[in-house]
Amino acid sequence: MDLSAINPVLLIASLMVAATPILLAGIGELVVERAGVLNLGVEGMMITGAICGFAIAVNTGSPFAGFVAAAVGGAALSLLFALLTQVALANQVASGLALTLFGLGLSSLLGQGYVGIKPPATGRLEIPVLSDLPFVGRILFGHDLMVYFGIAVVAVVWAFLKFTRAGLILRAVGESHDAAHALGYKVKRVRVMAIMFGGACAGLGGAYISLVRVPQWTEGMTAGAGWIALALVVFASWKPWRVLLGAYLFGGVTVLQLNLQAAGLAIPVEYLSMSPYLITILVLVIMSADKSRAPASLGRIFHASQ
């Protein structure tokens, strides 16, 4: 085994890349859950976003168009979830699972013609002096735009929830939908919009996997990233900046594990590949001691008659 082959600068830089899909999906799901809705369909929305983004990027030659299409695709799929849970008042756990199963099927149906194709490259940020700085240049200023976009979304969500009136309403809906309803807020409208935002974010996260991280299309390529994003929200205690922290931690584990595989550690590849999932479980165990942070109406069905 040759540990010296692991370059810390590249490790940190690739950690940020590895973290971006779950960061985007996680911050979207955080908004959904703060509105009191538990959408377990993140995996389905991510993979749908992955193929929508991939297909459009390949056909138009523009990664930007791809990411837009991914957001639209994810949001469109999440609208099905909104329809089920907000209009038909269906169980949120079951509906989320349905979304994931449906999304996995739909994506492999859509992706049939796209196996083995290379997508157009997503541009990197190149700032003349800063990107050439030793050490920090590569880590801070050498990424593609989506990495910064992910961080920006976290900042925007944080500011939205903390400082704006609309954010306050969203939190009120999530904490007590009956009280919010009594105050005259449109509980369903707020929730549908939150669900669609979550869908768009998950779609972007999925497209980041298929367009930048891998970059190609294979069936089921999100491989549980959507579920890790769900765990991330619990890890973050429903706080935006902690989603960023958690995503980088998970990203770090993933990258380190891949580097160890490449370095030829004496542990079989399969056991190293398990590690992100095992660490997710471990983190869930540690974090679940404190349940007080969860939005009080999380997962409950709202019907105005009650």
- Among the residues of 142-186, which ranges form H helices? 145-163, 165-175, 177-182
Options 3-11, 78-86, 130-138, 148-156: segment touching another protein (CB under 8 A): 78-86
- Check residue 299 and give left, alpha or beta (phi > 0: left; psi -120 to 50: alpha): left
Residue among 92 and 176 whose Cβ is closer to another protein: 92
DSSP letter assigned to residue 2? -
Count interface residues toward another protein (CB under 8 A): 48
Least distance CB 172 / another protein (angstroms): 20
**Can you tell me the distance from the alpha carbon of 130 to that of 150, in angstroms, rounded to the nearest whole number?**
20
Tell me if 71 contacts another protein by CB under 8 A. no
Site string for another protein, 84-113 (x = CB under 8 A): x---xxxx-xxx-xx--xxxxxx-xx--x-
Residue among 7 and 91 whose Cβ is closer to another protein: 91
Cβ contacts of 154 within 8 Å, gap of 6 or more: 23, 27, 240, 241, 243, 244
Residue among 141 and 235 whose Cβ is closer to another protein: 235
Tell me if 270 contacts another protein by CB under 8 A. yes
Q: Which of 124, 178, 183, 271 binds another protein (CB under 8 A)?
A: 271
Tell me if 289 contacts another protein by CB under 8 A. yes
DSSP codes, 80-129: HHHIIIIIS---HHHHHHHHHHHHHHHHHHHGGGGTTPPPPPPPBP--TT
CB neighbours (10 Å) of residue 65? 15
Tell me if 155 contacts another protein by CB under 8 A. no
Which 3-state string (H, E, C) describes 30-60?
Answer: HHHHHCCCCCCCHHHHHHHHHHHHHHHHHHH
DSSP letter assigned to residue 144? B
Tell me if 236 contacts another protein by CB under 8 A. no
Q: Which of 136, 156, 281, 296 binds another protein (CB under 8 A)?
A: 281
Interacting residue ranges for another protein, rule: CB under 8 A? 40, 80, 83-84, 88-91, 93-95, 97-98, 101-106, 108-109, 112, 219, 223-224, 227-228, 230-231, 234, 268, 270-271, 273-274, 277-278, 280-281, 284-285, 288-289, 291, 303-306
